[in-house]
């Protein structure tokens, strides 16, 4: 009888790293898009919806990555590495990557939503 697969092995390794780090480029894209579009929307207020759409899209992308990392962290359980050895088992590594991705995802989600909320307070015409 074979042992169940480690949580990290349930996902493609590239997918795990993409999920753990996707919030960073999503936040940068959001920041850049808003910085570029706010002056344009001052003159063309009918394009305000693009600022809200950028916030929604980048927030959803970040949430998807954080959700996958949360699932990875949850599946790994409360496995602590053996302090007597330098070897880390796959469950402990999965738990670390899951927590790391969840922390970066939540941090970037807060930044995206904070920037997105600023759109409501942008003063028009100067």
Token pair, residue 77, equals 């359980």
Burial class of 44 by CB neighbour count within 10 A (0 to 12, 13 to 18, 19+) = exposed
Q: How confident is the model at residue 77 (pLDDT cuts 50, 70, 90)?
A: confident
Q: Assess whether pLDDT exceeds 60 at residue 104.
A: yes
Give the pLDDT of residue 49. Answer: 92
- CA dist., res. 16 & res. 11, Å (int): 7
Record the pTM: 0.82
The answer to whether 60 and 124 have CB atoms below 8 angstroms apart is no
Q: Of the given ranges (16-30, 66-80, 91-105, 106-120), which has the lowest mean pLDDT? A: 66-80
């Amino acid at each position: 009888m074979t042992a169940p697969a480690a949580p990290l092995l349930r996902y493609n390794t590239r997918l795990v790293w993409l999920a753990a780090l996707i919030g960073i480029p999503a936040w940068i894209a959001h920041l850049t898009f808003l910085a570029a579009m706010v002056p344009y929307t001052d003159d063309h207020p009918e394009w305000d919806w693009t600022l809200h759409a950028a916030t929604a899209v980048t927030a959803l992308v970040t949430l998807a990555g954080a959700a996958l990392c949360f699932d990875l962290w949850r599946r790994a359980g409360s496995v602590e590495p053996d302090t007597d050895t330098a070897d880390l088992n796959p469950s402990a590594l999965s738990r670390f990557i899951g927590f790391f991705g969840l922390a970066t995802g939540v941090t970037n989600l807060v930044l995206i939503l904070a920037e997105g909320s600023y759109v409501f307070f942008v003063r028009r015409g100067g």
